[in-house]
């Protein structure tokens, strides 16, 4: 690990004045690992873990979750379990209890890829070193994306929580040197395109303060399904967050996002729209699942994800239709 300076922020305003080259530290469950590997080398760490950013507040129109609330706190919160069961299930399916007790919501939002080439300094990686190439394109791709990739990067987005928040259409509130702003969840994570080194729609110095999740009937009738190599502490081969609002035997509204298959949490509004007005039956779920994986580009080791993602989506929608 290289030398860096450490600063404990006294306030949010103090934190956002840290300047270029600084990284915000809360739980540190991902950042510190990548610093040890020298994949990330910030010149300064700004500790925000003691700021008043852990609250979880239920409002008439939704739930506001502080950036430093831990994964365990969010998953166990009564309003999360009642209003957004998909979010609680997604959080509980990730990592281990020890990590969930420390990892924060904002840290999960900014979780870096688990691509083996990104974490190996001996290999080419455009995300880690722009212009160096992508070893994954001709390498082992079982844990790589089939949706949202480019000629420069096919690294998979690893978060479970983010898949649920994408389906729930959360909004991220940030503050930076130029003031406060809200970022729709679908705009927060960037596709790799020609610049895979740019992963988030944050300006220099901006700090995530909270996440707002609007209440919805579909959110209350939502489920998360994760398929992985082992029952715990494993990243998704495919996952799906699904919510349905059903009235008079028809789907009035749907929420759907895929994980384990995209370079970012993969929400396809067209798949949600295809479910509206349909009976909550397998044939409608299969049609929506097919739409959700349109445009996928597979490789030798990850071609199985096409069918796995479709089946995972159908399963999640079936469970959502059955109710909590």
What confidence tier does 232 reach under pLDDT thresholds 50, 70, 90? confident
The arithmetic mean of pLDDT across residues 221-232, rounded, is: 95
Mean pLDDT score of the chain, rounded to an integer? 96
Chain centroid to Cα 241, Å, comes to: 11
pLDDT at 286: 98
Each residue's pLDDT tens digit, 12-59: 999 999 877 899 999 999 999 999 999 999 999 999 999 999 999 999
d(C-alpha 278, C-alpha 250), whole Å: 5
On the question of pLDDT at 1 being above 70, the answer is no
Residue pair 208/248 in contact (Cβ under 8 Å)? The answer is no
Cβ-in-10-Å burial (0-12, 13-18, 19+) of 300 comes to exposed
Instruction: Give the pLDDT confidence of 132-158 residue by residue, as tens digits.
Output: 999 999 999 999 999 999 999 999 999
Task: Tell me the domains of the chain and their CATH numbers.
Answer: 233-322 (3.30.390.50)
Which residues 6+ apart lie within 8 Å of 271 measured at CB? 254, 256, 288, 289, 291, 292
Question: Beta strands of 9-49 (E only): which ranges?
Answer: 22-25, 44-47
Residues in Cβ contact with 42 at an 8 Å cutoff, skipping those fewer than 6 apart: 4, 21, 22, 23, 35
Residue 2: per-residue pLDDT: 84
pLDDT of residue 19: 78
Q: What is the pLDDT of residue 21?
A: 81
d(CA 125, CA 121): 8
Q: What is the pLDDT of residues 95-113, one digit of tens each?
A: 899 999 999 999 999 999 9
114 pLDDT above the threshold of 90 = yes
Whose CA is closest to 218, among 43, 84, 49, 22? 84
Element (H, E) at 216: none
Q: How many angstroms from the chain centroid is the CA of residue 264?
A: 7
Helices 305-322 and 282-292, axial angle in degrees (round to 10):
140
Positive or negative: CA dihedral 42, 204, 87, 67: positive
The string of pLDDT tens digits covering residues 60-76 is: 999 999 999 999 999 99
Nearest to 223 by CA among 88, 36, 73, 47: 88
pLDDT of residue 133: 98
- The residue with greater pLDDT, 1 or 114, is 114
Q: Is there a contact between 39 and 75 (Cβ–Cβ < 8 Å)?
A: no
Using CA atoms, how far residue 293 sits from 119, 171, 229, 286, in Å, is 27, 24, 21, 11
Residues 295 and 194: their CA atoms lie apart, in Å, by: 18
Strand order in the sheet with 266-267: 222-227, 238-247, 250-259, 266-267
Q: What value does the CA radius of gyration of the chain take, rounded to a whole number of Å? A: 19
| C-alpha span between 112 and 135 (Å, rounded) | 17
> What is the arithmetic mean of pLDDT over 163-167?
98
- Mean pLDDT on 257-265: 98
Asked whether residue 301 carries a pLDDT value surpassing 80, the answer given is yes
Q: What's the distance, CA 2 to chain centroid?
A: 29
Q: How many helices (H) and strands (E) does the chain have?
A: 13, 12
Strand ranges in the chain using DSSP code E only, listed in sequence order: 5-8, 22-25, 44-47, 56-59, 62-66, 171-176, 179-184, 207-214, 222-227, 238-247, 250-259, 266-267
Task: List, for residues 241-259, the tens digit of each pLDDT value.
Answer: 999 999 999 999 999 999 9
**Closest among 254, 266, 317, 275 to 296, alpha carbons compared:** 266
Order of strands across the sheet that contains 207-214: 56-59, 62-66, 207-214, 171-176, 179-184
Which pTM was predicted? 0.97
> Distance between CA 258 and CA 272 in Å, rounded?
12
């Amino acid at each position: 690990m290289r030398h860096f300076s450490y600063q404990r922020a006294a306030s949010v305003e103090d934190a956002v004045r840290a300047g270029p080259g600084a990284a915000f530290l809360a739980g540190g469950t991902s950042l510190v690992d990548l610093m040890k590997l020298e994949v990330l080398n910030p010149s300064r760490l700004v500790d925000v873990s003691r700021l008043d950013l852990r609250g979880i507040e239920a409002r008439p129109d939704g739930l506001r979750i502080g950036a430093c609330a831990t994964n365990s706190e969010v998953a166990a919160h009564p309003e999360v379990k009642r209003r957004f069961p998909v979010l609680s299930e997604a959080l509980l399916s990730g990592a281990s209890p020890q990590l969930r007790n420390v990892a924060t919501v904002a840290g999960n939002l900014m979780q870096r890829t688990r691509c083996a080439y990104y974490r190996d300094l001996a290999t080419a990686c455009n995300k880690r070193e722009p212009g160096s190439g992508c070893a994954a394109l001709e390498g082992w791709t079982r844990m790589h994306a089939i949706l949202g990739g480019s000629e420069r990067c096919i690294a998979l987005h690893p978060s479970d929580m983010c898949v649920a928040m994408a389906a729930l259409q959360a909004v991220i509130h940030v503050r930076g040197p130029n003031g406060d702003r809200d970022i729709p969840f679908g705009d927060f994570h960037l596709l790799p395109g020609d610049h895979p080194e740019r992963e988030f729609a944050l300006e220099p110095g901006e700090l995530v303060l909270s996440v707002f999740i609007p209440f919805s009937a579909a959110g209350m009738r939502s489920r998360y399904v994760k398929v992985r190599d082992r029952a715990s502490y494993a990243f998704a081969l495919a996952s799906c967050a699904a919510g349905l609002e059903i009235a008079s035997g028809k789907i009035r509204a749907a929420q759907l996002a895929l994980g384990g298959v995209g370079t970012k949490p993969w929400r396809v509004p067209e798949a949600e729209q295809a479910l509206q007005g349909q009976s909550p039956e397998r044939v409608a779920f299969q049609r929506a699942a097919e739409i959700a994986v349109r445009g996928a580009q597979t490789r030798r080791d990850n071609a199985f994800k096409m069918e796995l993602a479709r089946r995972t989506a159908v399963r999640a929608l079936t469970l959502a239709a059955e109710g909590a």
